[in-house]
Amino acid sequence: MSETTKATTVNGVRAIELYYRVIREIASGSTAFYQSQTRLNTPGLGTLMPENYRDVAEVTNQCVTLFDLEFLHALESVQKFQDRELRFDWLSVYASAKYLSDPKAERNILTYCQKYSVPTNRICFALSEKILEETDGVVATTIKHLRNRGFHFMVTDFGNDACPIMRLSSFECDYVMLSPEVTGFLGKDDRSDAAVKSLIDFVSDLGAEPIADGVFNSMQAEKLFGFECRYCAGSLAGKYIAERYVRRRGDEEEEPEPSETQEQTNNQ
């Protein structure tokens, strides 16, 4: 058991656990990236999903402590995925605005990567769309410095009803994950399709790669590819599963069915 696992385990259960889902290349269907999702295991409240704790953590220093733990687990996962010969460009981990505004953030992140011997280009920091509300320029500068070091950045849930879309121009990001709300407009009518294409063009014109989230059928994937969106996530690409189940069989990764995953989890 690793040092990180021991330090974040209570009574044999990890205090935090990262789950991963595949972001696929639409043209080939192959794995391009892995997106992480952190779940908190608590003594009294059970397992908490990000929507249950992120907002509270963001207004306290808890988000800083969480990032340290999440990042270390992500670095360990990169090592494990490489050992399993999984093919992927990068693995994402959530990064809060509060952490990125810390003057020591860049140095700490680089130190962690050096300690675990993980190349910087193997990590993509996932940013909430709320980061676009940051206006003092500190976070944007940190992002720029870390991108110069080789790290990737991805704004998530972009284009939802509350997202300040135009603020994206103030942040240099490599990838922008479109909200499932955006994908949901596909196929409704010509005007809806045109609106989705316009948002994809907007992201591309700013120098970022769009990734469509919430894709659940091939019709949506085909339309997105026709709109020059190369990547997709959602039930069509694969659900979130625990790191220990991300395996490769033959030439492609195979994920257990939800029922199998749940059965294995319950037996542990």
pLDDT in tens, 135-150: 889 999 999 999 999 9
User: What DSSP element (H or E) covers 259?
Assistant: helix 258-266
The predicted pLDDT at position 3 comes to: 46
Look-up of token digits 């625990």:
242
The whole-model pTM stands at: 0.88
Q: Is the pLDDT of residue 251 over 70?
A: no
| Dihedral angle over CA of 87, 80, 255, 29, nearest 10 | -10
Average pLDDT for 158-176: 95
Beta bridge partners of 16: 40
The predicted pLDDT at position 265 comes to: 40
Q: Is the pLDDT of residue 105 over 80?
A: yes
Look-up of token digits 């399709």:
193
The share of the chain scoring above pLDDT 90, in percent, equals: 79
Reported confidence tier of residue 13, pLDDT bands at 50, 70, 90: low
Is 16 or 3 the better-scoring residue by pLDDT?
Answer: 16
What are the pLDDT digits (tens) for 174-218?
Answer: 999 999 999 999 999 999 999 999 999 999 999 999 999 999 999
By 3-state DSSP, what share of the chain in percent is helix, strand and coil, each rounded to 5?
45, 25, 30
